[in-house]
Structure 1
Amino acid sequence: MSEVSFRKTLVTLDATLMDGFVLEYVSNFYKSFGIKEIVFLHVIKDIDTRIEMDGYTEAENGALDEIMAKLNRKVSQYDFKDCKCTVEVKQGSPSSIILKHAVEASFDLIVMGRKRSLGGSGIVSSHIARKSPTSILFVTQNMNPSLRNILVPVDFSEHSSLAVKAGLRIEALSEAKLSLINIFDVPLGYYKLGKTYEEFAKIMEGHAKNDFDLFLKTNKIDKKYPCHFNVRGSKSKIDIVFEHALDSRSDLIIIGSQGRTNASAVLLGSFAEKMVFRDTDIPVLIIKKEGENMSLLQALLSL
């Protein structure tokens, strides 16, 4: 199973109240993620270049210096001992700047805030989630600031194995406990085999448990980690995951994102995208496979 690292992290700040939630979370748990270097980035939209006046450049530079000073003061209010921290302010399209920076500086993780009642359209976070080649953590506005229980939905694929690997890494560096959840289907037409829905669900659960045992063996994962098996039934997989997360008091959900190779498609699996933008207070960490979609993203950024 490939290594998962969050050593070098890009934390995006938008100069709103959401920054406080992001900074509190990162300062509390950066050691639990194994983060050693953080770049705090704020992107402001380009100043209208049609404006021409004496002293324009000086005024622009003065504004950037003021923003930089404010962000440095804000970051300095939180404890990041033994972590290299840098504050950067850039101008341009926020989505393009963040993605380009993530690629060029080879970050392991991007941290962003996901708002509910606070102002903001969420368009930037949506674009980043879809196109980022880097793992991304969405910190929620009304989260419970703790890290005790981690939930990882698994379908026994390579991408879910990376999500489990991330959970194991965080567990090893914190007091958190890891658990898994698998959701299986009863195929249509089950009644043609002369069995009830309940009987066929039991059969499918047996198959899922066999797949789970093979998944553990293949990826050399300790069997001590519990996996909760759930038949989808009439509920969506998203509903089942979040209901279980609430029941088990999960503080973090980690999911593997299966990238797309079609240039016309977004670069985030539909399940992962729905998980991220579900109206919930639980932070979600999307694990991207290293290098996947990188060439496509570089082509997109060069347009």
Structure 2
Amino acid sequence: MTKVSFKKALVALDATLMDGFVLEYVSQFYKSFGIEEIIFLHAIKEIDTRIEIDGYADAETNALDEIKEKLTYKIGQYDFKDSRTEIVVKHGSPAGIILRDAVEFSFDLIVMGRKRSLEGSGIVSSHIARKSPTSILFVTQNMNPSLRNILVPVDFSEHSSLATHAGVTIEEHSKAKLSLINIYDVPLGYYKMGKTYEEFAEIMEGHAKNDFDLFLKSNDINTKYPCHFTVRGSNSKIDIVFEYALESRSDLIIIGSQGRTNASAVLLGSFAEKMVFRDTDIPVLIVKKEGENMSLLQALLSL
């Protein structure tokens, strides 16, 4: 079976109240993700040196050291004793630094907060989600800090296979239970075939279940994982996933990023992007194929 590893994680902190939510979540569940090494990174765009320009270099070093000292105290309030940790503070564009470090140091996972009402616009998290070459976990502001039920939406593609394998990895390291959801469609013009909508929906569900069995077999996934099948109807797939996530009390949603590239960016698939930035309190993990779009991102970061 294809293994998805999260052994080395970069945890992005922004020195706001959101850091507390991120640190609480990571400290509770880093073992559940199989994380063995954590780099806590804070990137600061502007440094208030308050001195004459000829002493700027020393002032910048002192300012970064002061920030690191404060972060060391904050992180020390949480338990990371079973992992290797390091605190890094850098001066520059937060998104640029996070993406460059993800490439240079080959992280398996980026963890960062996604805000609803706290300070910050979310521009950085949106930029990183689109361009990150590695998997990324968004911890939400008003989450329920638990990990009992994991939900993976599947369309039986390669990317949903990666997301499922990620769920298997987390389940193996925790007490969480993994389940899947598949949303199928009834084709337009079904009535021309002499069947009701309900009759055709039943036929399409049968096809979906057959595809699911083939998906499990071809991807070497254990058949013990239940899958909820539902017809889309007039609802959006995003709404259906989140409604079912709430109904099933899911604590984490895992999605595969169906990445695509163009001359200037590395983009998420539209479904993945809408899932990440939906106004919800459930953490979302985007799983990306190892090395996918890496060469393009390296070229972009070198500009």
Q: Please report the TM-score for the alignment, with normalisation by the length of structure 2.
A: 0.97
1:285 aligns with 2:285: yes
Asked if 1:222 corresponds to 2:222, the answer is yes
Superposed CA offset, 1:174-229 (max 9, x none)? 11000000001111111121211111111111110000000011112121111000
Shift of 1:52: 5.2
SS at match of 1:258: coil
Look up the equivalent residue of 1:262 and give its one-letter code.
Answer: N
What is the SS of the residue equivalent to 1:129?
helix
Distance (whole Å) between structure 2 residues aligned to residue 123 and residue 164 of structure 1: 28
Are the equivalent residues in 1 in contact too, given 2:32–2:174 (CA < 8 A)?
yes
> After the TM superposition, which residues 261-300 of structure 1 pair with which residues of structure 2 at under 5 Å, given as runs?
261-264=261-264, 266-300=266-300
Quote the offset at 1:57 in angstroms.
2.1
Does the aligned pair in 2 maintain the 1:40–1:85 contact within 8 Å?
yes
Pairing 1:55–2:78 present: no
Distance 1:60 1:220 in 2: 52
State the secondary structure of the residue aligned to 2:298: helix
Deviation at 1:251, TM superposition (A): 0.3
Question: C-alpha displacement at 1:266, in angstroms?
Answer: 4.2
Q: Does structure 2 retain, via aligned residues, the 8 Å contact 1:267–1:293?
A: no
Instruction: Describe how 1:198-213 pairs up with structure 2 within 5 A.
Output: 198-213=198-213
Aligned-partner SS, 2:20: helix
Correspondence list, 1:6-17, <5 A = 6-17=6-17
Which SS does the other structure have where 2:133 is aligned? coil
Aligned partner of residue 55 in structure 1, secondary structure? helix
Q: 1:27 to 1:5 in 2, by over 3 A?
A: same
Please list every run of 5 or more consecutive structure 1 residues that lacks an aligned counterpart in the other structure: none
| C-alpha separation in 2, matches of 1:45 and 1:181 | 41
Alignment: residue pair count: 302
Residue 292 of structure 1 and its aligned partner are, at CA, apart by: 0.5
Q: What TM-score, normalized by structure 1, do the two folds share?
A: 0.97
Q: Distance between the aligned counterparts of 2:265 and 2:237, measured in 1?
A: 22
Using the TM superposition, name which of 268-277 and 258-267 deviates more.
258-267
In the TM superposition, 1:40-119 aligns within 5 A as 40-47=40-47, 53-119=53-119
Query: Which residue of structure 2 lines up, in the alignment, with residue 133 of structure 1?
Result: 133
Question: Hey, what does 2:260 align to over in structure 1?
Answer: 260
8 A Cα contact 1:112 1:125, kept in partner: yes
SS in 1 for 2:125: helix
In the alignment, the residues of structure 1 paired with residue 95 and residue 185 of structure 2 have an alpha-carbon distance, to the nearest angstrom, of: 37
Superposed structure 1 runs of 4+ greater than 6 Å apart: none
Letter of the aligned partner of 1:5 in structure 2? S
CA contact 2:37–2:85 (8 Å) conserved in 1: yes
Deviation at 1:56, TM superposition (A): 2.2
1:114–1:122 Cα contact (<8 Å) kept: yes
Indicate the residue corresponding to 1:36 in structure 2: 36
1:47, distance to aligned residue in structure 2 (A):
4.5
Change (3 A) 1:65 1:105: same
Asked if structure 1 preserves the Cα contact closer than 8 Å seen for 2:148 and 2:176, the reply is yes
**Structure 1 counterpart of 2:241, one-letter code:** V
| CA shift for structure 1 position 284 | 0.3
Give 2:44's aligned amino acid. Answer: I
Q: How many Å apart are 1:286 and its aligned residue? A: 0.4
Q: Which residue of 2 aligns with 1:236?
A: 236
Please state whether the residue corresponding to 1:74 is helix, strand or coil: helix
- Aligned equivalents of 1:152, 1:282: Cα separation in 2: 13
Aligned-residue CA RMSD (Å): 1.4
- By how many angstroms is 1:54 displaced? 3.7
Could you say what secondary structure the match of 2:53 adopts? coil
Question: SS at 2:112's partner residue?
Answer: strand
Aligned-residue offset at 1:13: 0.1
Whole-angstrom CA distance in 2 between matches of 1:208 and 1:36? 38
Task: Give the deviation of 1:79 after TM superposition.
Answer: 0.4
Whether the 8 Å contact between 1:33 and 1:173 is mirrored in structure 2 is: yes
Task: After TM superposition, give the deviation of residue 299 of structure 1 in Å.
Answer: 1.2
Q: Does residue 168 of the first structure (1) align with residue 158 of the second (2)?
A: no
d(CA) in 2 for partners of 1:262 and 1:228? Answer: 35
